[in-house]
Structure 1
Amino acid sequence: MVFHSSFPAVDIPTTGVVELIFENRNNIPDNKPILLDAQSDRVITFGQFKQQVLQFAAGLREQCGFQSGDVLAIFAPNSLDYPVALIGAVAAGGASTPANPAYNVKELTHQVSLSEAKVLLCSPENVDIALETAQECGLDRSKVFVLGDSAVNGVLPHTTLIQPGRQLSAPVRVSNPTDQVAYMCFSSGTTGLSKGVMTTHTNITSNMLQVDALLGSHLSADKDQILGVLPFFHIFGLSVVIHMSLYWGIPLTVMSKFDLPLFCEVVQKHKISFSCLVPPILVLLAKHPLIDQYDLTSLKTIVSGAAPLSAELGNEVQTRLPHCTIIQGYGLTETSPVTTIGDLAAPVDGSSGILVPNMTIKIVKEDGTEAGVNERGELWCKGPNIMKGYIKNPAATADCIDNEGYFHSGDICVRDDSGNYMIVDRIKELIKYKGFQVPPAELESILLTSPSVADCAVIGVYDASQATELPRAYVVLKPSIQPTEATAKELMDYVASKVVQHKRLRGGVRFIDVVPKSASGKLLRRVIKDWVKEEEKITKIESKL
């Protein structure tokens, strides 16, 4: 059964990303502040933004020999100048590949090399890593720049590319937006070496209008304020935060990274009304005592994404922030990213929302047959926002995009009678206990309802004596709770009281200080699995002594 969006189709732009923003469909005045710094009084107006984008594009072309099809790598945390550089490279006829600022030389070299970046832009804190990477990739030092106004270790500031009187008259024309790549974000690497995703101009522009179709009527450029705290190198922050703010003309206050006290201060000071967040931040909003010390009543809308948000956690935040509507979106880097998003007019707890326009979905069972309403299966999706493919990896592309154009997400999904989609779990993360499938996200959502638990992760641990995986929880306790055997048993009993027998925590409970997560908020289960492997090695060695 093929599911369609209940929304009318949107007209897919035939222009590029920058042209759509500059088209200014929402009549944004040039003197309107559009980018604001969370920790200073610095502001960039919409007119200044457009001018700086064209100046940066001219600087890239004239000073760096940047040509159409070339790539700029950005290796920096969020900043006010980030969107200018990100979109400036696209205006110059090229593409941007944003990299995680926490990368080491090996990780950054992988991305710069695979994307064939011709220019590397870094932040003052990671100049040394950028320079070493440039050397590894054969990139001349003159093609490395640092964000800001000052040189660092001899590396020129990016402002040397932004010169008065030197700017393009217009963005370089995109002749084939369905094929020309605008961005190359890299997957989070939760299952190994990250893959580069080729996102075209049409992928981004179509998703901008798809998101606008569901959210646009609920927002006002005159009244709303958006907070940019999600990392801009991630597709969620890049597309839904940066591009939608610029398209709507709603001021975007930029935080370099998440910090709870600063987050609360910024919301209170700037009267933030809309923010895209991830579940780990929502855990803090639900449970941290600091929240009560601030006036967060301006915050009217939270869109959660990047990882599953349980109905229980959503309700906890809703109880604490009764003035705020919390919806969830679903998507991947490969879908540019939004596939489904909650309906602000009628949000449904635990749902990842309804299908955006111009998309179709199939839910496919393990036996290959198509599921119907209220039946589980893998989510396959098709639409103008599906990526072009993985960089230099046609085999991986062919593995996930079939000959009908459907992207196979690897996520297990259920659609209800009203068109709401619930993401149950990742296929690869399912725990197999004696043939039964155990979704770790379900157990995590239950544990998070315990008054003893601050955060948690669940994985499967193989037990050779039973020839099966056992669900094991790794738990961060609240400060007032002691990590004792009694506490572990209490949590195991707590879960057992809420699940069927095969979903019990038979692998036990381990206490940890921090749950490992990527910068986008996804659980890094592979890191925990590596801990288990090391424990097993030690156990084997000790058993031989």
Structure 2
Amino acid sequence: MVFLSKHSPITIPDIGVAELIFENRNNIPDDKPILLDAHSTRVITFGQFKQNVLQFAAGLQDHCDFQPGDVLAICAPNKVDYPVALLGAIAAGGTVSPANPAYTVKELTHQLSLAKAKVILCGQENVQVVLEAAEKCGLKKTNIFVFGEEAVQGVQPYSQVLLFGRRLPAPVKISNPSDQLSYMCFSSGTTGLSKGVMSTHANINSGILQTDTVLAPHMRASKDRILGVIPFFHIFGLVVNVHMSLFWGLPMTVMSKFDLPLFCNVVQTNKISFSCLVPPILVLLAKHPIVDQYDLSSLRTVVSGAAPLSSDLANDVRTRLPHCRVIQGYGLTETSPVVTIGDLNHPVEGSSGILVPNMSVKIVNEEGQEVGTNERGELWCKGPNIMKGYINNPEATADCLDAEGYFHTGDIAIVDEQGNFSIVDRIKELIKYKGFQVPPAELEGILLTSPMVADCAVIGVYDAAQATELPRAYVVLQPATQQSPVVAKELIDYVSTKVVQYKRLRGGIRFVDAVPKSPSGKLLRRVIKDWVKDEEKITRTEAKL
């Protein structure tokens, strides 16, 4: 059975991403502030933004011999002028590969070499890592630039080099938007090194216009203000924060990283009304006492993404911030990024929403059969937003893109009779207990409803004696709760009362100071599994002594 979007089909223009933004469909005046710095008084108007983009593009051409198809890597925290570099390289006909600024030299070298980056723009905080990675890739220092106004370790500020010359009259026209790459984000994956996702101009334009169709009717051009706090190097922040702000013409206040007091202060001071957030931030908004010290009544809409949002957590946020509507979206780097977005008129608890325009999907069970409503299976997606493939990795591309053009997400979904999709887990993360499938996300959602729990993660731990995996929880307690065997038992019993017997936390509970997560908010279960391996090694060593 094929499920189709309830939205009417939309037309995806045959142009480049920068051309779409410069079309200015929403008639944004040049003097309107569009980018604001949360850490200073710096403001960039829409007119200044366009001028800087075209100067940046010309500067790349003149100083770096940047040609259509060349790659600019940006490895920096969020900056107020980060969008200038993004669109500047795109306007020059190039591709941008945003990188995690927390990368090690090895991780960054992997991305730079795979993307074949010709130019790098970094933050002042990570110049040394970038220099070492660039040297390993044979990239010359004169093609490395830094955000800010001062040179760092001989690396010149891009603003002092690339913005002092001519500017292009208009963005370079993209001759084949369905084939030419705009962005190359790297997917985190559950194991091994990350894969470079090739997103075409048509892919990103689709993501922009699909998101616009669902959210634009609820946006107020004269009043709404956006907060950009999730990482711009992640596809969620890149498209739904950066590009939607520029497309709609809504001022976006940019935070370099999440800090709860600053977040609350910016919302209060700048009257933020819309933000893309991730569940770990929503946990703080729901539970942290400092939130009560601020007036967050301007915050009308939150779109949660990058990780599952339980209905209980969404309810907790709405209870504390009754003026705020919290909806969930679902997508991946490979889908540019949206597949579903919640309906702001009729949000459904625990749901990731309905299909965006131009999407068709299948739900396929373990036997490879297409199933219908209220049945579990892997979600397969098809639409103009589906990536071109993984760079230099035809095997991985063939594994997830079939002959019909469906992308096999690896996520397990259920759809109800009204077309609301719920993502219940990932295939590779399901815990197999004596033949039963146990979704860790379900157990995490239950634990987070306990007033004793601040955060948590659940994994399967193999027990040789029983020849099966056992669900184990790693829990961060609220400050008022002390770690103890009694508390651990209370939490185990708490979960047991809410699940069938095979989903119980038979692997026990471990208390930790923090749950490992990516900058986008995804749980890094592989890191926890490494903890288990280290623990097992110690146990084996002690047994030999």
| TM-score, normalisation: structure 1 | 0.99
* Residue number in structure 2 paired with 1:303: 303
* Residues in 2 aligned to 1:161 and 1:212: alpha-carbon distance in whole angstroms: 35
* Residue aligned with 1:482, SS: coil
* Residues in 2 aligned to 1:224 and 1:46: alpha-carbon distance in whole angstroms: 16
* Residue number in structure 2 paired with 1:335: 335
* Residues in 2 aligned to 1:406 and 1:288: alpha-carbon distance in whole angstroms: 42
What is the Cα deviation at residue 413 of structure 1? 0.2
* Residue number in structure 2 paired with 1:508: 508
* Residues in 2 aligned to 1:53 and 1:331: alpha-carbon distance in whole angstroms: 28
Q: Is the 8 A contact 1:314 1:349 kept in 2?
A: yes
* Residues in 2 aligned to 1:476 and 1:199: alpha-carbon distance in whole angstroms: 37
Matches within 5 A, 1:158-169: 158-169=158-169
What is the Cα deviation at residue 165 of structure 1? 4.8
Q: Is the 8 A contact 2:99 2:108 kept in 1?
A: yes
Q: Is the 8 A contact 2:147 2:157 kept in 1?
A: yes
* Residue number in structure 1 paired with 2:235: 235
* Residue number in structure 2 paired with 1:118: 118
Matches within 5 A, 1:248-397: 248-397=248-397
Runs of 5+ in structure 1 lacking a partner? Answer: none
* Residue number in structure 2 paired with 1:146: 146
Q: Is the 8 A contact 2:59 2:165 kept in 1?
A: no
* Residues in 2 aligned to 1:127 and 1:270: alpha-carbon distance in whole angstroms: 32
* Residues in 1 aligned to 2:474 and 2:165: alpha-carbon distance in whole angstroms: 58
Matches within 5 A, 1:389-468: 389-468=389-468
* Residue aligned with 2:538, SS: helix
* Residue number in structure 1 paired with 2:4: 4
* Residue aligned with 2:10, SS: coil
Q: Is the 8 A contact 1:75 1:99 kept in 2?
A: yes
Runs of 5+ in structure 2 lacking a partner? Answer: none
* Residues in 2 aligned to 1:40 and 1:81: alpha-carbon distance in whole angstroms: 13
* Residue aligned with 1:36, SS: strand
What is the Cα deviation at residue 156 of structure 1? 0.8
* Per-residue Cα deviation, 1:470-511 (whole angstroms, up to 9, x for no partner): 000000001111110011000000000000000000000000
* Per-residue Cα deviation, 1:296-321 (whole angstroms, up to 9, x for no partner): 00000000000000000000001000
* Residue number in structure 1 paired with 2:523: 523
* Residue number in structure 1 paired with 2:212: 212
Identity %: 73
1:52 aligns with 2:52: yes
* Residue number in structure 2 paired with 1:128: 128
Q: Is the 8 A contact 1:55 1:161 kept in 2?
A: no
* Residues in 2 aligned to 1:190 and 1:280: alpha-carbon distance in whole angstroms: 19
Q: Is the 8 A contact 2:330 2:352 kept in 1?
A: yes
Q: Is the 8 A contact 1:60 1:161 kept in 2?
A: no
* Residues in 2 aligned to 1:204 and 1:241: alpha-carbon distance in whole angstroms: 13
**Aligned amino acid, residue 25 of structure 1:** R
What is the Cα deviation at residue 220 of structure 1? 1.3
* Residue number in structure 2 paired with 1:25: 25
* Residue number in structure 2 paired with 1:84: 84
* Residues in 1 aligned to 2:45 and 2:71: alpha-carbon distance in whole angstroms: 26
* Residues in 2 aligned to 1:499 and 1:481: alpha-carbon distance in whole angstroms: 24
* Per-residue Cα deviation, 1:351-404 (whole angstroms, up to 9, x for no partner): 000000001000001111101011110000000000000010011000000000
What is the Cα deviation at residue 161 of structure 1? 3.5
What is the Cα deviation at residue 164 of structure 1? 4.6
* Per-residue Cα deviation, 1:252-286 (whole angstroms, up to 9, x for no partner): 10000000000000000000000000000000001
**Aligned amino acid, residue 241 of structure 1:** N
* Residues in 2 aligned to 1:369 and 1:189: alpha-carbon distance in whole angstroms: 26
Q: Is the 8 A contact 2:207 2:337 kept in 1?
A: yes
* Residue aligned with 1:114, SS: helix
Query: Which portions of structure 1, spanning 4 or more consecutive aligned residues, are displaced by more than 3 angstroms?
Result: 161-165
* Residue aligned with 1:118, SS: strand
What is the Cα deviation at residue 81 of structure 1? 1.3
Q: Is the 8 A contact 1:198 1:389 kept in 2?
A: yes
**Aligned amino acid, residue 202 of structure 1:** A
* Residues in 1 aligned to 2:335 and 2:500: alpha-carbon distance in whole angstroms: 34
* Residues in 1 aligned to 2:488 and 2:134: alpha-carbon distance in whole angstroms: 49
* Residue aligned with 1:491, SS: helix
Q: CA RMSD in A?
A: 0.7
**Aligned amino acid, residue 336 of structure 2:** S
Q: Is the 8 A contact 2:60 2:162 kept in 1?
A: no
What is the Cα deviation at residue 124 of structure 1? 0.8
What is the Cα deviation at residue 163 of structure 1? 3.3
* Residues in 1 aligned to 2:199 and 2:87: alpha-carbon distance in whole angstroms: 14
Q: Is the 8 A contact 1:78 1:256 kept in 2?
A: yes
* Residue aligned with 2:474, SS: strand
* Residues in 1 aligned to 2:12 and 2:99: alpha-carbon distance in whole angstroms: 28
Q: Is the 8 A contact 2:145 2:157 kept in 1?
A: yes
What is the Cα deviation at residue 191 of structure 1? 2.3
* Residues in 2 aligned to 1:163 and 1:41: alpha-carbon distance in whole angstroms: 21
Matches within 5 A, 1:152-231: 152-231=152-231
* Residue aligned with 1:490, SS: helix
| TM-score, normalisation: structure 2 | 0.99
What is the Cα deviation at residue 41 of structure 1? 1.1
What is the Cα deviation at residue 418 of structure 1? 0.6
* Residues in 2 aligned to 1:113 and 1:163: alpha-carbon distance in whole angstroms: 27
* Residues in 1 aligned to 2:473 and 2:189: alpha-carbon distance in whole angstroms: 22
* Per-residue Cα deviation, 1:81-131 (whole angstroms, up to 9, x for no partner): 111001111111100000000011111000000000000111111111111
**Aligned amino acid, residue 118 of structure 1:** K
What is the Cα deviation at residue 192 of structure 1? 2.3
* Residues in 1 aligned to 2:25 and 2:162: alpha-carbon distance in whole angstroms: 26
**Aligned amino acid, residue 28 of structure 1:** I
* Per-residue Cα deviation, 1:148-168 (whole angstroms, up to 9, x for no partner): 121111111101333355101
* Residue aligned with 1:184, SS: strand
What is the Cα deviation at residue 189 of structure 1? 3.7
* Per-residue Cα deviation, 1:171-214 (whole angstroms, up to 9, x for no partner): 11100000000000001243221001000000000111111111
Q: Is the 8 A contact 1:52 1:162 kept in 2?
A: no
**Aligned amino acid, residue 145 of structure 1:** F
